Amino acid sequence: MNDIIDVIEEVKKMVSPHIGLWDEPWQVLITGILSARTKDETTDRASLRLFCRFPNSRELSRADEKIVESIIKPVGFYRQKAKNIIEASRMIVEDFNGKVPETIDELLRIPGVGRKVANIVISNAFNEHGLAVDTHVFRIFNRIGIVKAKKPEEMEIKLKSKIPHERWNEINSYFVEFGKNVCKPLNPKCEICLLNKKCEYFRRKVK
């Protein structure tokens, strides 16, 4: 199992992907900004409260920052994120003619959007090929040893060069759940992992 496709297939046997609540591009974008360093459950509840109060980009672009803060709390860094999502909504309305941009470069102009969020928007909102590297994806591939990188951006480039583009969308959705439930940051469940025989981390651990 030294092939990266085999690794993907084994991970898919162990977990089911997290399905986001939203598929409308603006909602996917805002939820992505809220999700940084925040649990999915907390993000989902905050986004539901937010979109009930502000159902579109125009209304959120005009929102009072303190009200937005109170709605999205307790997401991590909620004060900065309140600023970011209001400004992001303003940019959608004024700079992008009311539509979420469909390219990585344009998405990266929006405050609070890094490559991970941009790739999530590309894949989840527009069903295009995006490969989002979050902390779980970065950790897991480095641990297994099949692909190694010092930075998430480097990992994204390397994974895209090794994985067929039609499978890019699988990486974040499956490997995040794998990272939360099996290959955890602390005390990973190596004994039940189907990849342990081919994993550098497990081999070091056993020794």
Kind and range of the H or E run holding 68? helix 65-72
Question: 67 lies in which domain range?
Answer: 25-125
User: How many structural domains are present in the chain?
Assistant: 2
Each residue's pLDDT tens digit, 66-101: 999 999 999 999 999 999 999 999 999 999 999 999
Output the pLDDT for position 207.
60
Query: What CATH number does residue 117 fall under?
Result: 1.10.340.30
Say whether both 49 and 111 belong to one domain: yes
Domain identity same for 142 and 51: no
Q: What is the structure's pLDDT at 1?
A: 41
Determine, yes or no, domain membership for 172: yes
With a cut of 70, list the residues of the chain below it in pLDDT. Answer: 1-2, 207
Q: Are residues 142 and 50 both part of a single domain?
A: no
Q: Which helix (H) or strand (E) holds 29?
A: helix 25-35
Identity of the residue numbered 165: H
Q: Would the pTM count as exceeding 0.85?
A: yes
Q: Are residues 49 and 75 in the same domain?
A: yes
pLDDT in the model for residue 53: 97
Considering 99, 125, 151, which residue would you say is the last residue of a domain? 125
Query: Same domain for 149 and 66?
Result: no
